[in-house]
Amino acid sequence: MEQKFIDLFKETLEIEDREIEMTDTFRDYDEWDSLGLLSLIAMIDEEYDLIIESNTFQTLETVADVHNYIKSKTV
């Protein structure tokens, strides 16, 4: 589950030259921008059938934060 999420996250932001970690602060990625955010919204909707309100999303800082939030809403 965790590795699958990391792979999806990486693929969504089109990060091709390195591995990413659950502890990464994703807003620091060079690939992170408003278009990346749209892709992430679409990925989470498609894979987990979940829409994260932007006020909530702003409080999520690491890849793990996003993953944990999804887990808390989809179990």
Instruction: Answer yes or no whether residue 60 interacts with other proteins by CB under 8 A.
Output: no
Interface of this chain with other proteins, residues 1 to 30, rule: CB under 8 A: none
The answer to whether 53 contacts other proteins (rule: CB under 8 A) is yes
What is the total count of residues that contact other proteins (CB under 8 A)? 14
Cα angle for residues 8, 21, 17 (degrees, 5° grid): 70
Alpha-carbon distances, residue 27 vs 23, 33, 59 (angstroms): 12, 8, 12
Distance CA 48, CA 20 (A): 21
Position 54 contacts other proteins (CB under 8 A):
yes
CB of 14 to other proteins, least distance (A): 10
